[in-house]
């Protein structure tokens, strides 16, 4: 029988606030009513499931598994999704069970993260037993580090004369790089820690770089440090140097480590 879980609210740091939990429950109820038997599963993932949620920056990320995804099926969900979007949340990802399995190789980073940190809200937990091949995982880690480094440079140029925009760029980029740091450790054969903070500290010890700029941005995001205590230009200088160092080191180390199978 399909499992169904009631979401419990909490106001603890890093945990989804009660008002957000109520919204999630209401949205799941609307999805169930709109989709009927076509709805196989609803899964909460990302920071809201990992204990790193911040109402100021974090999104409520949902995966919706439908048995079939015709336009008519998607249109049935339109009113529920519009209700959700009016509350400033992105529409859920939508896949079929077959697509979830077939995409496990090309979305290895995303599905590994979801497998480790997710919460079943309705239906069958199709993620927990998902078999995720690692043959393309290394290439995805290298690609995404390079891509996000290029985008970071682009953003830094555009915001260089605006301290507020620089801080926003750093604060919004830090979770993505934290995820990639974890997956760099996985690609190198290590058992990656669950938290971003532990991941960058382990990677710094392995690759011999100073993680302080990245950790300072994370501290600001987690309300442990006030941004006014730091010079944003200095932080940007060190933050960019950290990302460049990690990207080059990961690329070099993975290329020299040889192939890794599924």
In tens, the pLDDT along 62-97 reads 999 999 999 999 999 999 999 999 999 999 999 999
In the chain, what is the greatest distance between 2 CA atoms, to the nearest angstrom? 57
Query: Which of 107-116, 143-152, 253-262 is least confident?
Result: 253-262
Tokens of 33: 């009513």
Contact 67, 96 (CB under 8 A): yes
Alpha helices in the chain (DSSP H): 18-35, 47-50, 71-76, 78-85, 97-102, 108-116, 137-159, 163-187, 196-207, 212-221, 232-257
Q: What is the pLDDT of residue 10?
A: 34
Q: Any idea how long the chain is? A: 262
DSSP labels for 114-173? HHHSEEEEEE---STT-----TTHHHHHHHHHHHHHHHHHHHHHHHTT-HHHHHHHHHHH
CB-based burial of residue 181 (10 Å sphere; 0-12 exposed, 13-18 middle, 19+ buried)?
buried
pLDDT at 160 over 60: yes
Task: State pLDDT tens for residues 109-118.
Answer: 999 999 988 9
Q: What are the angstrom distances between the C-alpha of 34 and each of 4, 80, 120?
A: 17, 7, 19
Label residue 260 by pLDDT band (50, 70, 90): low
Report the 10 Å Cβ neighbour count for 39: 22
Q: What is the pLDDT of residue 213?
A: 97
pLDDT at 252 over 60: yes
User: Residue 75: in which H helix or E strand, if any?
Assistant: helix 71-76
Tokens of 136: 């393309």
Tokens of 155: 């953003």
Average of per-residue pLDDT across 119-125? 96
Contact 60, 48 (CB under 8 A): yes
Average of per-residue pLDDT across 154-171? 97
Classify 254 as helix, strand or coil: helix
Label residue 191 by pLDDT band (50, 70, 90): confident
Cβ within 8 Å of residue 226, ≥6 positions away: 220
Classify 45 as helix, strand or coil: strand
Average of per-residue pLDDT across 239-254? 91
211/199 Cα distance (integer angstroms): 10
Label residue 253 by pLDDT band (50, 70, 90): confident
Contact 32, 39 (CB under 8 A): yes
Q: What is the pLDDT of residue 13?
A: 40
pLDDT at 147 over 50: yes
């Amino acid at each position: 029988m399909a499992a169904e879980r009631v979401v419990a609210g909490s106001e603890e740091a890093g945990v989804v606030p009660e008002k957000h939990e109520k919204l999630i429950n209401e949205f799941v109820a609307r999805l169930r009513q709109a989709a009927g038997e076509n709805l196989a599963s609803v899964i909460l993932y990302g920071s809201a499931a990992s204990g790193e949620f911040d109402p100021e920056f974090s999104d409520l990320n949902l995966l919706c598994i439908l048995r079939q995804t015709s336009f008519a099926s998607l249109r049935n969900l339109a009113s529920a999704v519009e209700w959700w979007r009016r509350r400033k949340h992105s529409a859920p990802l939508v896949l079929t069970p077959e697509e979830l399995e077939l995409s496990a190789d090309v979305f290895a980073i995303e599905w590994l993260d979801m497998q480790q940190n997710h919460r079943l809200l309705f239906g069958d937990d199709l993620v927990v037993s998902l078999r995720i091949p690692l043959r393309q995982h290394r290439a995805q880690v290298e690609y995404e580090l390079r891509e996000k480094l290029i985008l970071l440079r682009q953003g830094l140029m555009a915001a260089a004369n605006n301290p507020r925009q620089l801080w926003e760029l750093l604060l919004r980029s830090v979770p993505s790089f934290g995820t990639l740091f974890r997956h760099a450790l996985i690609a190198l054969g290590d058992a990656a820690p669950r938290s971003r903070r532990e991941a960058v500290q382990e990677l710094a010890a392995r690759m011999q770089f100073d993680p302080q700029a990245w950790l300072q941005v994370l501290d600001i995001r987690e309300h442990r440090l006030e941004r006014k205590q730091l010079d944003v230009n200095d932080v940007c200088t060190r933050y960019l140097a950290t990302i460049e160092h990690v990207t080059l080191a990961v690329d070099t180390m993975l290329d020299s480590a040889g192939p890794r199978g599924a």
